[in-house]
Every structure is written in structure tokens, then in C-alpha cells.
Amino acid sequence: MEAVSWFGDWPGHVLVGLILMAIAYWRRSKRWVRIFAAMLLACALAGIANRVVKISTGRARPDVQAEARWSGPNFSASYHSFPSGHTAASTAFFATLAFASWRIGLGLLAIPLLIAFSRMYVGAHHVSDVVCAALLATLVAYLVARRMALSIGEGT
């Protein structure tokens, strides 16, 4: 689970997105270049939104022995539990794909679920951290897919 957690961070998603976008460009598929660009954009925007909430709330990680679990604005990584950045990045990335092409993207949503589970398993997050991150990221993915006029709801 530690390996899943390590590979599930945003740099891995960005690398995969860039490789896929390069392949789509090489194959001259404007639609897929646009989809992969949207996935990267959603990942970045979810990461930014997640970071703002994380620093603002200052929730202690499960392993921190503190009287106040929510400390307010805090720059210490020990108080950056809520929401899960790994879960947000992965969910935004793959949810955008699901909105653009549900037949391909729906099955790949198992990846963010696995990453969310791994973050709880290694003791980095509470259940509410990963659930809220997934909700935030799904909203971002929907807005990006809609703004970039991807085929939301179509099966292609």
C-alpha cells in the first residue's frame, strides 16, 4: 500500500497524462489531445483547491497526538490531513476521463479508490479526508469537462 500511495501522487498522474497526450498528438487525434489536456488541467486545479483547503483547515493526521484535531490555518505537514491530496489529484484525473468517455473512464475510477484506500491504510488520512477530496475533485473534473466541451454523458 505504501507503493500505491507513493505512485498515486500527482507527479505520476501528470507523467501519464503527458505521455498519453504526446501519443494522441503523434496519432493526430485532436479529441484525445483535448481529453488528456483536460485531465491534466483538472488534476492541477483540484490540487490547488485541495491545498488551499488543507492549509486553511489544519486537520491533524491520524498519527498526530494532539488535543485539537482541527487547528485552523497551519503550514505543518502533520496538520495537512483534510482533504487528501493524493485522492483529489487521482479522482480529478480519472473522473475527467469518465466524463469525456464513460466506457473507458468508468473502470479506471478503481485507481483513485485504490489510492484513497492506500492513504487510509498507511495512516495518512481519515475516511472523511478521502471522501471530501473525491467529492471536491469530482466537482472540479465535471466543471473542467463541461468548460472544455468534452462529451459529457456520451459513450465514445
pLDDT band at 23 (very low <50, low <70, confident <90, very high): very high
* Structural domains of the chain, count: 1
Residue 36 belongs to a domain: yes
Distance of CA 14 to the CA centre of its chain: 11
Residue 6 lies in a domain: yes
CB 141 within 8 A of CB 91: yes
In a domain, 156, yes or no: no
> Is there a domain that residue 71 lies in?
no
Q: Minimum mean pLDDT among 39-43, 49-53, 81-85, 103-107: which range?
A: 81-85
56-74 confidence digits (pLDDT tens): 887 877 777 665 565 667 6
Domain contains 68? no
CA distance 57 to 79: 8
Kindly state the DSSP code that residue 77 receives in the 8-state scheme: G
Residue 70 lies in a domain: no
Q: Which domain holds residue 97?
A: 2-62+76-147
pLDDT tens string 80-128: 678 889 999 999 999 999 999 989 999 999 999 999 999 999 888 889 9
Answer yes or no: is 40 within a domain.
yes
Please tell me the pTM assigned to this model. Answer: 0.84
